[in-house]
Structure 1
Amino acid sequence: MTRTDSRRARMVALGAAGAMALAGTAAVAAPAAAAPGAAQACEKRANDTVAELTDCVTLDGVMEHLEAFQAIADTPENAGTRASGTPGYTASADYVQERLEAAGWTVTRQQFEFPFFQQSSSAFAQVSPDAAPYTEGTDYAVMTYSGSGDVTATAQAVDIAVPPPTAANSTTSGCEAADFEGFTRGNIALVQRGTCPFGQKVTNAQAAGASAVVVFNEGQEGRTDVVQGTLGAPGATIPAIGVPYALGSTLDGDTLRVAVEAVSEFRDTENVIAELPGSTTDNVVMAGAHLDSVAAGPGINDNGSGSAALVEVAENMAEVDLPNTVRFAWWGAEELGLLGSNHYVASLSPEQREDIGLYLNFDMVGSPNFARFIYDGDLSAFPAPEGVPVPEGSDQIEYVFEDFYEEQELFYEGTEFSGRSDYQAFIQAGIPSGGLFTGAEGIKQPYQAEAYGGEAGVAYDPNYHQVGDDIANLDPEALDQNSDAIAYAVLTLGYDTQRVNGMIGKPVPGGTFEGDPAAREYRLSAAQANGGGGLHAGHDHEHVGEEV
């Protein structure tokens, strides 16, 4: 991997203080005040070389877009969020469209219906025989698409297994209407995770007259924690929560209070698609970032950062005459299960899918305690996702980003294609994919703090999916470097994708670095299992069904 005279070896020898100093000297500096006429120069020229485009894609430019997203969220009627299905998302989509159309791009908006859920409050407590209040996130979690209500009633067990079943013998608690024979209407149904989707359990409980549902974990190894699940879609009219095995297995016959206030309904949202026509239309270079935030906050790092970087790159390459068509996408409803990107790919005809040469994904590129992650297209750090082979050519996309970081003498490492961001639909469609990520809720390791700076033992983004993901929740160094990396990759591949899929264009002016992947100096080998974008509904944060 790295040579003994590499910068990493020098950092190890110097220790933590020296590492921080070296990291500072190698980093791309924050932009100085622009020289008079510099912005005008960028607007008047084509920016068709690596040097010109990366000179014009600036941190100041990206921050202008992020400040606009923050201002949108801060508008009183938008209530601090840019989540899909809210006015804040529509205003964000309007902003992107207006900026790109002004720059000369052709912009369309693809509408689709999606299941919306926004929780405003909850409470869970044991009322008797002993009073015991419980804490959301620690003792219980509200099911996505839970109904609303404030219920105090007796908990009644429904076909539960205590002691817990074995791993090979999952429970069927609540999976059949017959499980509720003898159930007392108005009671709170106490059911156990296992076999069928949570939505099916709640539907059966609701039909039997339950006033609320408490789902507790099965109890065998690996299934003891708080159940964090989804009902799959709106429709429930009663509150539904999940609890750990240790708590749930003791609640039968107790009087409980379960309260949830939430909006759960179907709403419309949209993807924003912008296209810069090339000489050909059958080898589209596509790049995307999800535009929506979670309901809890403005979503400036997740994923205003990727969205703003794409706007900045698009504005500065609008006059480039490329062999390949370039198509940018700002996805809606990613935070509720990658819905926008899945809808887009599903809407394509086989011929339209075939025309997409590759896809680049940018979901969180400015995390405040960042690492430089590149999706592991050559599978050198992580195995292929189960049941979804990484398409051929994805390794070469990874090497494009590696080439940039190597040229800049910046450390980087691989991250897993875990299915947690919008590349997933493209991989499943057989389209070569890659991209960048700076970390979400995962914990930064000591070797990463040594290489990138920041603090070991702390999340890459301590405000991930929280109200604190605001304009201050960014690292300008990471945002600046990654905006240039995005510009480099889009321009390079817009000129020529031969290394990815054999389609010949022409070399990018300014040079494609194309270093030897076997002789990388700045690739770190101790990759961590992060996977991009974070814990999104319908994925590893929430159990849509039951894993046996």
Structure 2
Amino acid sequence: MTAAAVPPGKVLEHLEVFQAIANANNGNRASGTSGYRGSVDYVVGRLRAAGYAPRVQNFSFPFFQEVSPATVSAGGRQLAAEDVAVMTYSGSGTVTAPVQAVGTTGERAASTSGCEAGDFADFVPGNIALLQRGTCAFGVKAANAAAAGASAVLIFNTGLPGAEGAVAGTLGEPGVTTVPAVGLSYTAGVALLRGGEVTVSTQTVSESRETSNVLAETRSGDPERTVMVGAHLDSVPQGPGINDNASGSAGILAIAEMLAGTETANAVRFAWWGAEEFGLLGSRHYVADLKTNDPATLGNVALYLNFDMIGSPNHGRFVYDGDASAFGPDDGSVPAPAGSAVIEAAFHEHFGSLGLASGETEFSGRSDYGPFIAEGIASGGLFTGAEGIKTVEQAALFGGRAGIGYDFCYHASCDDLSNIDHRTLDEMTGAASAVILRFANSPLGLEEEGRRLLAAVAPVPAATVDQGHGPSNAAEARQPR
């Protein structure tokens, strides 16, 4: 069986259904919403039809949604949108009251402002508390302010290099405070130090909700050498999430359907993760549950393959940097366990066999491989780019336009069916299928398989490119061989 066994158009067929589900459910498929439940029902139905016995693993998580953008007005003028950012798990409401600075003079520094209850000794209940970022968690500052009777909380940035824009922070969990909590830029915060009346408005939903993972395993193959394959099924609340990450979910669903009824040497377990967009919560729950209740099953996972965003419209053809040749701790990369280099080499070899250039992306910790890496499980996968900016070098390697994002609809309402590059989606699904099948049918361990692979994909002259599911970094790009 080869990668060509994934029927043409099958992945797009799944994407069309995910789009229809979003359209019928307030435009999104976020965990904890009817759109996500519809997505779970679809995946479960397709798996059952293919002959699997899927399992739905439920768990609770802290849900948050900004219903409309937060606003702050002072002196009759509304602050610019770029100077204001709602705190995750902020309360909801509109408040007009005098603003009162607490423990800060606006010095460019990380401030202890609001970190102790004693900071509020002279605070007037009912006022809006103006605090500065630093020293302790945002949730601590907000909770202390609310306990002192603040009607709203404003936290402005430190003003240090790289920390001047609006604070986009989190209070940590629902219920820290019921009053509006908003981050401000350094400039906006300093301008409010003189006092006066301020209006703060937030419209949010902050509560505990239930969501789920979907798991399905092949009926054949050695369970002590399980190949695990995952993609997150949820979108952000702002949009339908067709590239992020219906693309990966649809890709592995098509591969699972293709593998159904096929004999494999090793067991293959597919996972569609919930609440990734709230902090990798689905994959974290799964790994933690196994670690506590079934450590033998966790120990039988030979490797984990992750597919998060595989159809970006201005794509790069990125493979996770398992051998740390392009990224290291200085770049913010998470160290990859032994065996990850073999997974990386398998993807590069596949692309090279088709005459396609491939680059590398760091293990930044921003997707569902994170909990597996933390347990020492070899990991890898594919990624076509998020909000990072494509360079001239990358445009020469992969096509597309330099100077703009890989996915200019990242985490936005326009991440719909029109936001997918079909050729890229086919190439990445083909690569995913080929590598999954390779490891599913390999009688060799990662070490033995790796010796041949790493020789076949010896390092080639590197082009310096920028990429990222986050800040841009230097990466290696492999020319087709």
- TM-score normalised by structure 1 residue count: 0.82
Aligned to 2:115: 175
Q: Which among 298, 309, 315 is matched to residue 370 of structure 1?
A: 315
Confirm or deny that 1:109 pairs with 2:28.
no
Question: 74, 90, 94: which one pairs with 2:37?
Answer: 90
In structure 2, the partner of 1:144 is: 88
Ranked by relative contact order (alpha carbons within 8 Å, sequence separation 6 or more), the top structure is: 1
Are residues 216 and 345 of structure 1, via their aligned partners in 2, closer, same or farther at CA, if it must alter by over 3 Å? same
Q: Where does 1:426-505 land on structure 2 (aligned, <5 Å)?
A: 426-496=372-442, 498=444, 500-501=446-447
Residues 1:368 and 1:177: Cα distance change in structure 2 (over 3 Å): same
Q: What residue is the counterpart of 1:201 in the other structure?
A: 141
Q: Quick one: structure 1 residues 278 and 269, their matched pair in 2 at CA, closer, same or farther if it must change by over 3 Å?
A: same
Which residue identity lines up with residue 143 of structure 1 in the other structure? M
**1:369-408 alignment, distance < 5 Å:** 369-384=314-329, 388-408=334-354
SS in 1 for 2:54: strand
Distance 1:393 1:224, change over 3 A: same
Q: Taking structure 1 as reference, are residues 88 and 317 closer, same or farther at Cα in structure 2, changes over 3 Å only?
A: same
Distance in 1, matches of 2:80 and 2:19, equals 30
CA contact (8 A) 1:302 1:465 kept: yes
Post-superposition Cα deviations, 1:473-517, rounded to whole Å, max 9, x if no partner, equal 01011000011101101100001173525599xxxxxxx977622
SS in 1 for 2:150: coil
Match of 2:187 in 1: 246
Deviations 1:161-217 (A, max 9, x none): 42223xxxx321111111111111111100111111111111111111101111001
Distance in 1 (alpha carbons) for counterparts of 2:420 and 2:98: 47
**Residue 23 of structure 1 aligns with which residue?**
none
After superposition, what is the alpha-carbon deviation per residue over 1:425-450, rounded to whole angstroms, capped at 9, x for unaligned? 10001000000000000011111111
The CA distance in 2 between the partners of 1:269 and 1:398, in whole Å, is 32
> Percentage identity across aligned positions?
50
Whichever structure has more strand as a proportion of its residues is 2
The answer on 1:65 being equivalent to 2:4 is no
* Residue of 336, 342, 360 corresponding to 2:278: 336
Native 8 Å contact 2:129 2:154 kept in 1? yes
CA contact (8 A) 1:370 1:478 kept: yes
- Runs of 4+ residues over 6 Å off in structure 1: none
Aligned 8 A contact 2:318 2:383 in 1: yes
Question: Contact (CA 8 Å) 1:413, 1:525: kept in 2 or not?
Answer: no
Q: CA deviation at 1:218?
A: 1.1
The structural deviation recorded for 1:244 is: 1.1
5+ long unaligned stretches in structure 2: 472-481
1:158-307 to structure 2, matched below 5 A, reads 158-165=102-109, 170-235=110-175, 236-252=177-193, 253-307=195-249
Q: Give per-residue Cα distances to partners, 1:509-534, cap 9 Å, x unaligned.
A: xxx977622255xx853242414xx6
Instruction: Spell out, residue by residue over 1:115-141, the C-alpha distance to the aligned partner (whole angstroms, 9 max, x if none).
Output: 00111113423332xx321233x1110
Unmatched tracts of structure 1, length 5 or more = 1-48, 505-511, 536-548
User: What residue number does 2:475 align with?
Assistant: none
Residue-pair matches, total? 464
Instruction: Give the Cα–Cα distance (whole angstroms) in 1 for the partners of residues 418 and 302 of structure 2.
Output: 36
What amino acid sits opposite 1:351 in the alignment? A
**For residues 82-108 of structure 1, what are the alpha-carbon distances to aligned partners after superposition, in whole Å with 9 as ceiling and x for unaligned?**
000000000100100110111012210
TM-score, length-scaled by structure 2: 0.93
Root mean square deviation, CA, Å: 1.9
- Whether the 8 Å CA contact 1:123–1:257 is kept in 2: the answer is no
Amino acid in the other structure paired with 1:447: E
Q: CA-to-partner distance for each residue in 1:333-367, whole Å, 9 max, x for gaps?
A: 00011110111110113322211000000000000
- Taking a change above 3 Å as real, the CA distance of residues 301 and 387 of structure 1, as seen in their structure-2 partners, is closer
1:198 partner letter: F
Q: 1:249 to 1:271 in 2, by over 3 A?
A: same
1:231 alignment partner AA:
L
8 Å Cα contact 1:403-1:515 kept in structure 2: no
Q: 1:103 to 1:529 in 2, by over 3 A?
A: same
Q: How has the CA–CA distance of structure 1 residues 59 and 154 changed in structure 2, closer, same or farther, with 3 Å as cutoff?
A: farther
TM-fit CA distance, 1:280: 1.6
CA distance in 2: counterparts of 1:398 and 1:343, whole angstroms: 26
Secondary structure of 1:528's counterpart equals strand
Residues 404 and 513 in structure 1, CA contact (< 8 A), matched pair in contact too: no
How many angstroms apart in 1 are the aligned matches of 2:85 and 2:436?
A: 41
Query: CA 1:458–1:298 in structure 2 vs 1: closer, same or farther (change >3 Å)?
Result: same
Report the secondary structure of 1:305's partner residue: helix
Structure 1's 101 and 515: CA in aligned 2 closer, same or farther, altered over 3 A?
A: farther
Moved more, 322-331 or 278-287: 278-287
Tell me, in whole angstroms, the C-alpha distance in 1 between the residues paired with 2:238 and 2:332.
32
Q: Deviations over 1:307-327 (max 9, x none)?
A: 000010110111211111100
Amino acid at match of 2:153: V
- Distance in structure 2 (CA, Å) of the matches to 1:264 and 1:123: 14
Deviations 1:442-481 (A, max 9, x none): 0111111112111111110000000000011010110000
What is the DSSP-based 3-state SS (H/G/I as helix, E as strand, rest coil) of the residue aligned with 2:397? helix
